[in-house]
């Protein structure tokens, strides 16, 4: 086995770890990137993607422009992104199958676990924030209020239209540059986490059926359109929201961190609302459905989730730097 193959295999395995983390709200792939020592390279590669380089790479199909396309691909660390991305997608596809079952069959246990992940992530990240000025306090209050409002009944008003799916993809991809905040958490706040998990699972099932000759390609259109819309939004987000967040962190680091961390704390409403909705078997959130036993299960699962985040944080080899 060559050294190059071993090194790229290591990148793929790190992508698997990142994808597994990103598939669940609370543990960020950025944190895993920190632990595995590829965070700085990831940020450099993601922010190195720009329109000019993409156009140069696409121009490689023209005779005589292959060298320019190759150089642009190398400049933005394209091989690294492809191998890491393959690992991330492999893990996300595998995890969504398990998560779709868990959400449907044991929603209280699942969302309780998510709540523990989210709470512990907020606690860990608050050690990086100093709320010692009016602007930072205002940013924290705004972040908490926004997440608390959107992740409650208001999320039901956000439809599953392709326009909103594109927006959700753009928002979720911004989490790539933020250790501690996962794209899944942002989807949970927007009320689109379960929708995207189910859609991706059904799409991959459809692909398998088509490959086995058990279904026609036309059966992929509905779910495939949603997946393509989400990916398109993610690409747009790479050029817009991700760079905007990076700029805000560079120029207004403390206030931006206060906003983002409080956003996580406000998002704690989401798993409670989602678990309650599943208990009722519909879109109505009726908190009277909770019994002492269900509350105990939710709390116990939350403790396990929180412990997992605290263990991951303890073994993080580097301080969080944005």
* Domain regions of the chain by residue span: 97-314
- Cβ 316 vs Cβ 124: under 8 Å: no
Which value, in Å, is the radius of gyration of the alpha carbons in the chain?
Answer: 20
Q: Is 80 exceeded by the pLDDT of residue 26?
A: no
Task: Lowest mean pLDDT of 81-85, 188-192, 267-271, name the range.
Answer: 188-192
Indicate yes or no: pTM above 0.85. no
For the cut 90, the answer to whether the pLDDT of residue 303 exceeds it is yes
Distance CA 20, CA 14 (A): 10
Q: HSE-up of 276 (CA within 13 Å, CB side)?
A: 16
Q: What is the DSSP string of 205-234?
A: HHHHHHHTTSS-GGGGHHHHHHHHHHHHHH
Task: Compute the distance between CA of residue 19 and CA of residue 307 in angstroms, rounded to an integer.
Answer: 20
**Predicted confidence band of residue 145 (pLDDT cuts 50, 70, 90):** very high
pLDDT band at 321 (very low <50, low <70, confident <90, very high): very low
Secondary structure (DSSP) of 165-179: HHHHHHHHHGGGG-T
C-alpha dist (Å) from residue 25 to 60, 113, 183, 216, 246:
39, 9, 7, 34, 21
**Mean pLDDT across the chain:** 83
Helix residue ranges, H only, the chain: 3-22, 29-35, 39-47, 51-58, 66-75, 78-105, 107-126, 134-150, 162-173, 183-189, 193-211, 221-239, 241-251, 253-266, 269-280, 292-314
Tens-digit pLDDT profile for residues 105-138: 899 999 999 999 888 888 877 777 788 889 889 9
| Whole-angstrom distance, CA of residue 92 vs CA of residue 15 | 10
Give residue-wise pLDDT tens across range 182-234: 788 888 888 888 888 889 888 988 888 888 888 888 888 888 999 999 999 88
38: three-class secondary structure by DSSP: coil
């Amino acid at each position: 086995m060559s050294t190059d193959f071993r090194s790229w295999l290591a990148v793929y395995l790190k992508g698997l770890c990142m994808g597994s983390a990103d598939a669940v709200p609370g543990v960020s792939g950025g944190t895993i990137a920190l632990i595995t020592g590829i965070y700085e390279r990831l940020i450099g590669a993601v922010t190195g993607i720009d329109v000019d380089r993409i156009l140069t790479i696409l121009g490689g199909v023209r005779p005589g422009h292959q060298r320019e396309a190759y150089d642009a691909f190398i400049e933005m660390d394209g091989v690294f992104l492809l191998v890491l991305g393959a690992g991330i997608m492999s893990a996300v596809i595998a995890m969504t199958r398990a998560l779709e079952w868990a959400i449907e069959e044991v929603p209280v246990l699942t969302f309780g676990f998510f709540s523990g992940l989210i709470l512990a992530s907020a606690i860990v990240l608050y050690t990086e924030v100093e709320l010692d000025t009016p602007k930072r306090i205002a940013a924290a209050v705004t972040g908490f209020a926004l997440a608390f409002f959107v992740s409650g009944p208001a999320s039901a008003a956000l439809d599953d239209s392709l326009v909103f799916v594109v927006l959700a993809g753009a928002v979720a991809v911004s989490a790539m540059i933020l250790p501690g905040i996962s794209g899944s958490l942002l989807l949970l706040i927007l009320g689109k986490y379960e929708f995207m998990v189910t859609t991706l699972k059904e799409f991959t099932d459809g692909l398998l059926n088509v490959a086995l000759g058990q279904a026609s390609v036309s059966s992929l259109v509905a779910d495939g359109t949603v997946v393509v819309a989400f990916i398109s939004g993610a690409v747009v987000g790479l050029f817009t929201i991700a760079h905007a967040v990076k700029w805000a962190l560079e120029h207004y680091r403390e206030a931006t961190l206060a906003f983002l961390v409080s956003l996580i704390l406000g998002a704690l409403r989401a798993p409670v609302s989602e678990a309650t909705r599943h208990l009722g078997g519909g879109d109505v959130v009726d908190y009277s459905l909770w019994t002492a036993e269900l509350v105990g299960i939710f709390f116990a699962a939350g403790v396990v989730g929180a412990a997992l985040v605290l263990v991951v944080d303890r073994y993080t080899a580097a301080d969080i730097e944005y």
